[in-house]
Amino acid sequence: MHYYRYENAEVSCCYKYLLFSYNIIFWGVLLDLTQVTRSHGFDPVWLVLVVGGVTFILGFAGCVGALRENICLLKFFTVVIGFIFLLELTAAVLAFVFKDPLKKWINDFFLTNVKAYRDDIDLQNLIDSLQRLNQCCGAKNPNDWDENMYFNCTPENLSRERCGVPFSCCITGPRKDSVVNTQCGYDTRANWSSQIFTKGCIVALEEWLPRNIYIVAGVFIGISLLQMVGIYLARTLIGDIEKVNFRY
């Protein structure tokens, strides 16, 4: 039986180091992680841990697989990247088809985290950043902060923050002081005024998305293309390695 041999079979250094560089770019470095705390709401540290863990595993498999010409690691890298791409595509389609249930889920999710606002510093910073960035307060309106035990208006609440909102709901003046007034939201819900944002964050998101739909689509397409480039480089390198192994 005659076997055909590739006369000039060799592993392409170009593809090898392109794949290595590709993984270096996306290799996440986790710095200054705080301890995960118990909270009924969403803890952002979990998201950092999951994304960082997946990024580290992919980066390790891609870099070591490329440098050591390890077919198993390269195949693992290809399969995981392809699976993530399918998950992203599925999520985008489901979000478009089930817009109303998604809106309700986001609203409920936000309210759940409003309840846990004071329980976790990372969650607190995330909500404050979200409200300041979008100039919003609460999910639908500032009264959503009644869900939090420190901000609700019930007579049983003896907190100084009663009937108030977090400082991130406050409207800042034209001059941005370096010192933030963290008490500016006290007693503001007793009589809504020009001191706080009255628009809910869900409404702000609904207004932001149509205005930036091309940016969102461009980011999604760009990430998808990068993933396909990674799959192409890995598959090409696997083919070169198999040719060399077949030769010898």
Q: For 207-230, write each residue's pLDDT tens digit.
A: 888 888 888 888 888 888 888 888
Share of the chain above pLDDT 70, in %: 74
pLDDT digits (tens, 9 = 90+) for 60-90: 787 787 778 788 888 888 898 889 889 888 9
Of residues 39 and 100, more confidence is placed in 100
User: How many CB atoms sit inside 10 A of residue 241's CB?
Assistant: 22
Per-residue pLDDT at 11: 57
Burial class of residue 140 (count of CB atoms within 10 Å of its CB; 0-12, 13-18, 19+): middle
Per-residue pLDDT at 247: 62
Task: Please give the Cα distance from 160 to 140 (Å, whole number).
Answer: 24
The residue whose two tokens read 């909500």 is: 127
Residue 12: band (very low, low, confident or very high) from pLDDT cuts 50, 70, 90: low
Quick check: 247 and 5 in contact, CB under 8 A?
yes
- The ranges assigned to domains in the chain are 13-141+199-246
Per-residue pLDDT at 32: 40
**pLDDT for 184 beyond 80:** yes
Q: What Rg do the C-alpha atoms of the chain give, in angstroms? A: 25
Quick check: 152 and 144 in contact, CB under 8 A?
no
Per-residue pLDDT at 128: 92
**pLDDT for 21 beyond 80:** no
Of residues 15 and 172, more confidence is placed in 172
How many residues are present in the chain? 248
Q: Phi and psi at residue 26, in whole multiples of 5°?
A: -100, 10
Locate 185 and state its tokens: 């939201």
Per-residue pLDDT at 1: 44
Contacts of 182 (CB under 8 A, 6+ apart): 167
Per-residue pLDDT at 45: 60
Per-residue pLDDT at 35: 37
Residue 33: band (very low, low, confident or very high) from pLDDT cuts 50, 70, 90: very low
**Mean pLDDT over all residues of the chain?**
78
Locate 152 and state its tokens: 């609700």
Highest mean pLDDT (candidates 17-21, 34-38, 110-114, 184-188):
110-114
Per-residue pLDDT at 2: 44
pLDDT digits (tens, 9 = 90+) for 87-129: 888 988 888 888 888 888 888 888 988 998 988 888 898 899 9
**pLDDT for 244 beyond 90:** no
3-state secondary structure of 196: strand
Of residues 65 and 165, more confidence is placed in 165
Per-residue pLDDT at 144: 92
